[in-house]
Structure 1
Amino acid sequence: MTMLGDEADTTGAAGCRDVVEGAQTLGDRVYDQLLDAIMTGEIPLGAKIGENDLAQRFGVSRGPLREAIRRLEERRLVIRTAHVGARVVEMSDTSLLELFFVREAMEGMAARLASQRMSDAEIADLERLLDAHGESVADREHYDQRDHDLDFHYRIAKGARNDMIEGLLCRDLYQLLQIYRYRHSAVPGRAQRALLEHRRVAAAIAARDGDLAETLMRRHIVAARKILEGLLAGTAATAVPHPELK
């Protein structure tokens, strides 16, 4: 967690710093709790954010809670409308699937560019990240990648060294997809399959094979979209790999 000064009166200055740091720490805690509640579905998509109820639930004043809500608005996970207030974002099934088509094209190109532009050190870090992911999903059905630098797709988007791709993926699409990714990764077998697909993409990038990196990333996103389509239709089952990924 990120932790967030003239000194005429030493005692007073120290006291001021304690208050600021304490308030920031509390704000981070409330933000994390609210994000977890949204990600896990405890607060449903489209649900109204009731400040009074949440302040009571988290045992905080409305100040830190409002700051947490503001941060979620910046990440497009909460929207605010006149006469309604703040609500958790909700997208139609059609809009969500359309995002996956855009994501397939953009992430495929990001993987191609990353194979050309990521340094050897960055690729080594990417492989170590996947090793850590392997430990985290060994006995779980969730593949949780909420922190930016700990997210495989975020690393690839950054490694593409393209401001347009990075902006659209990291600051727009990923914020909207994050909730859905968390929930849909619980499909039996999908976490382990997704990790394998990530490793194949990383290997293609390490080999500096842009064609293969783009192809594998596209197939990875297509697999996720097909699972989502099954979930939306109520027919999702265990993840089935693409035959060429076996």
Structure 2
Amino acid sequence: MNGSEIYHRLISLIEERVLKPGDRLREADLAERFGVSRTPIREGLKRLEAQGLAVHEPNRGMVIPTLDHSQINEVYFMREVLEGTAAGLAAKHASKPEIEILQDLVDADRKRIADKDSLVRSNREFHRRLCLAAHNRYLVDQIDHLRLSLILMAGTTLDTPERRETAVEEHAAIVSAIAAGDGEAADKAARLHISHAHKTRLRQI
């Protein structure tokens, strides 16, 4: 297992909340966990640090950082801009199969409201598919980078059944606008969805 593989494994562990903001990242512990030498661990941690997903703290060493209130606001502001733009572009460029996949995700999600963990995974897939449907590689790269910041936030905005139901219907509105080829409505629906998620996140903290 090389440094790149270690990096992606660490990302997955943070995303799945096995590793959480505030946790220490000890080379020896990680080497034992993954069954490798410290060299690939060191390489993976350097890449994690370059992405802002690990920082050095006095007397603690390398840790997973916690986003403060201002940083959370900044991340959600950029999400509105970027994902709104992605939805607007998807209304112009998404293929029929891409739209059908988005609709299939919405239909499936309506049946899994009670299963939070499953819905959280599906929610990530929906947003990934939405961004890909924009057919703009530079936009996708920016959103992928922003997604890394999101995994530093504790918990999920889908903690309550009420928010889960609302979020799925917001996804449905985005897909409807994309299917209709209405870029302005798709942009507006996506921005509204992220704005509601932002408010939910602020209430949680």
TM-score bracket relative to the smaller structure: 0.7 to 0.9
Q: Deviations over 1:146-193 (max 9, x none)?
A: 89xx621222222212233222112x1111113438533223422232
Q: Distance in 1 between matches of 2:114 and 2:39?
A: 35
Are residue 151 (structure 1) and residue 116 (structure 2) matched? no
Of 86, 91, 104, which residue of structure 1 is paired with 2:62?
86
2:127 and 2:34 map into 1 onto residues whose CA distance is: 35
Structure 2 counterpart of 1:187, from 155, 160, 164: 160
Q: Which residue of 106, 111, 120 maps to 2:82?
A: 106
TM-score, scaled to structure 1 = 0.67
1:129 & 1:176 partners in 2: Cα distance?
24
Secondary structure at the counterpart of residue 66 of structure 2:
coil
- Per the alignment, residue 141 of structure 2 pairs with 167
1:58-78 alpha-carbon deviations (Å, 9 max, x no partner): 372345971794497189363
**Higher RCO structure (Cα 8 Å, ≥6 apart):** 2
TM normalised by structure 2 equals 0.79
Q: 1:229 aligns with which of 184, 202, 205?
A: 202
For residue 177 of structure 2, what is the aligned residue in structure 1?
204
Q: Are the equivalent residues in 2 in contact too, given 1:115–1:206 (CA < 8 A)?
A: yes
Runs (5+) with no aligned partner, structure 1: 1-22, 233-246
Q: Which range moves more in the overlay, 77-86 or 111-120?
A: 77-86
SS in 2 for 1:45: coil
1:238 maps to what in 2?
none
CA distance in 1, matches of 2:198, 2:166: 14
2: distance between equivalents of 1:78 and 1:130? 31
**Equivalent position SS for 1:144:** helix
Task: Select which of 47, 70, 73 maps to 2:48.
Answer: 73
The structural deviation recorded for 1:52 is: 2.2
Considering only CA atoms, is the larger Rg found in Structure 1 or Structure 2? Answer: 1
1:109-166 per-residue CA deviation (whole Å, 9 max, x = no partner) reads 111111001111211122223334444x33223432389xx62122222221223322
State percent identity of aligned pairs. 25
Q: Secondary structure at the match of 1:78?
A: coil
CA change 1:154–1:42 in 2 (3 A) is closer
- 1:177 maps onto 2:150 in alignment: yes
Unaligned runs of at least 5 residues, structure 2? none
Moved more, 194-203 or 160-169: 160-169
1:61 alignment partner in structure 2: 36
Q: CA deviation at 1:38?
A: 2.8
Give the number of aligned pairs: 201
How large is the RMSD of aligned CA atoms in angstroms? 3.3
